Structure 1
């Protein structure tokens, strides 16, 4: 049996602007994981997930195709990850096999509610990693990112794929997305071997070493959000309010570059100032787009954190889920966490997950 794990993620800054090539964001990988195991099977394979315990999902081979016994299934990201890896395996001369996949997630609470930690990205990355190992495909970490990005993009159709990068590379990341129109074009004309070997226009992934004094607190509002729907609404505003949107992009790029520089030089005042500035920009985006990005619960989370000297903002698409607070030695974390709790904001006991392997 082969077992791999893929971490969840959280956005620190740069949301929405990161959807455009060349506009950076900062993310972290977290020590909550999706675990994927794959083992050889005979005649009939299964895909089992504790998230979908009521679903009995079986499949067979018909030539090189997977044939499914049930019509309605919740495994879209997993199945697309399988398709992408097996297409590459065939290109590399590997015979396709039958196997069982077992998937276990830590990215929800005990009731199955998602925290907004990128579960669809993590399960895509985990499935790709497990099957690449199963088929003995010798791929770099960047190749894994590209394969998982293709699979996730084919299902979701929007998004930056920064969550895929965090799940593959770990730690703190500076990320800029690639040109999606370029990817759509080459997926029609090139095979996967050629696409993996290509330079992806606009793509930039850089692991950041943060100062030891910088600490991250994560608060969960308890209300889930739909990233895809929020992104769709902002996309409408992108065309309806072109001038305001372009100004937002320019300001966001400058702001995130300032935070990255602050991280690299150990200037925590610049980092905290940049976090506050990015929150203000995102609130402006929500206002002119008429999209409720910062909910009352997220606003309260931020106001409480700021009261104790932390720099706070919502994380990800907003509309619910999590907010983050950047703290240092001047912040009374215990009081902040206690105040969050009094206002029904749960502090998630999460830490940044750093990969120990040498980057490839």
Structure 2
């Protein structure tokens, strides 16, 4: 039996610009995540989850990709690793298994915006790698999970996949996949996993030990895919974001909290001034107003979901204020880095 823990993710800086290849974001992996367990099965494969009421059953040897919408991320991850195995491990057929996914990325009030779909695809890839003893390099696992997620979502920076795969806090530069050709059924061919991905860069950042992350969950679900549709970001926005993020990276490396807070505020102003009004929801507006001299901002796509604060002192007053305004505060612990970057 195999059981793997998969972290969640929290975008700290560089949102939206990161969807354009070659731009950079800062992303943290969180110890709030999910587990994937695999055990051997005799007759057929089954997948169970605490967030989906009905299991999914299939034959590994005759996988026909006819999975329901609820299981689309799990199905996509299984399909991509099967395709990769066919290309690279011709004498290693995959046996039938029982998969159990237990997620802690949904609270009593709903999703908390820490990347459940990305965690699921990374979890399936990591668990298959462990159970079938494939010994895939961490970069290969990142690429497999990326292709599985892209196949379902059709867009995105893959920064959430990178953070969840590598752990810790990373500076992530998004790749340019535009030259790679789609197959007839809409997949980016698994062959490209063994090729260099132009512009891709993933760098571990040394997070200061006395900086504590506090999530402010609004429990208002944001649709990142819809948010990105018809979003025309100017070259000035992209270049300004890159300069701001590089400055924030420096403040993290040297541990300068005051300059870090200034950098996050600059990134937030850039996002607020360039995105539609709905990006800052009423709850997120309250969250931003509450920060004052505290480092923090909206995380991810906005239009709901969450914001965060980073504090190096007592946060009790901020926590009480958020609770008073129906913002759910949750202490976030950064997960350990995995593998070599």
Same fold judged by TM-score > 0.5?
A: yes
Between 1:249-258 and 1:259-268, the stretch displaced more is 259-268
2:330 match: 348
Counterpart selection for 1:172 from 146, 151, 169? 169
1:84 match: 80
CA contact (8 A) 2:212 2:312 kept: yes
Counterpart selection for 1:101 from 93, 99, 103? 99
Counterpart selection for 2:307 from 323, 335, 346? 323
State how 1:49-128 maps to structure 2 within 5 Å: 49-53=49-53, 55-61=54-60, 64-67=61-64, 72-91=68-87, 92-93=89-90, 94-111=92-109, 113-128=110-125
Secondary structure in 2 aligned to 1:66?
A: coil
Secondary structure in 1 aligned to 2:332?
A: coil
CA contact (8 A) 2:181 2:188 kept: no
Q: Which of the pair is proportionally richer in helix?
A: 1
Question: Per the alignment, do residues 214 and 46 of structure 1 end up closer, same or farther by CA in structure 2, a change over 3 Å counting?
Answer: same
1:241 match: none
Report the Cα offset of residue 131 of structure 1. Answer: 1.1
Counterpart selection for 2:281 from 295, 319, 333? 295
Structure 1: runs of 5+ lacking an equivalent = 239-244
Distance in 2 of aligned mates of 1:160 and 1:57? 29
CA contact (8 A) 2:56 2:71 kept: no
CA contact (8 A) 1:230 1:291 kept: no
Report the Cα offset of residue 232 of structure 1. Answer: 1.3
1:274 match: 263
1:359 match: 340
Would you say 1:153 and 2:118 are equivalent positions?
Answer: no
Counterpart selection for 2:247 from 254, 258, 264? 258
Report the Cα offset of residue 310 of structure 1. Answer: 0.2
Distance in 2 of aligned mates of 1:15 and 1:95? 40
Distance in 2 of aligned mates of 1:295 and 1:202? 33
Root-mean-square deviation (CA, aligned residues, Å) is 2.1
Distance in 1 of aligned mates of 2:265 and 2:113? 21
1:234-259 deviation per Cα after TM superposition (whole angstroms, max 9, x unaligned): 2xx34xxxxxx111111000000000
2:290 match: 304
1:106-153 deviation per Cα after TM superposition (whole angstroms, max 9, x unaligned): 000135x11110000000000011112222211111111011001101
Report the Cα offset of residue 25 of structure 1. Answer: 0.4
State how 1:137-152 maps to structure 2 within 5 Å: 137-152=134-149
The alignment of Structure 1 onto Structure 2 pairs a total of residues equal to: 338
Report the Cα offset of residue 67 of structure 1. Answer: 4.3
2:272 match: 283
1:147-200 deviation per Cα after TM superposition (whole angstroms, max 9, x unaligned): 1001101110111010001111111110011013134459999963x4233211
Would you say 1:196 and 2:193 are equivalent positions?
Answer: yes
Question: Per the alignment, do residues 284 and 86 of structure 1 end up closer, same or farther by CA in structure 2, a change over 3 Å counting?
Answer: same
Secondary structure in 1 aligned to 2:229?
A: helix
Between 1:120-129 and 1:196-205, the stretch displaced more is 196-205
1:23 match: 23
Report the Cα offset of residue 276 of structure 1. Answer: 0.1
Distance in 2 of aligned mates of 1:260 and 1:15? 14
Given the two structures, how large is their TM-score scaled by the length of structure 1? 0.88
Secondary structure in 1 aligned to 2:288?
A: helix
Distance in 2 of aligned mates of 1:189 and 1:294? 35
CA contact (8 A) 1:233 1:291 kept: no
Would you say 1:39 and 2:39 are equivalent positions?
Answer: yes
Question: Per the alignment, do residues 190 and 337 of structure 1 end up closer, same or farther by CA in structure 2, a change over 3 Å counting?
Answer: closer
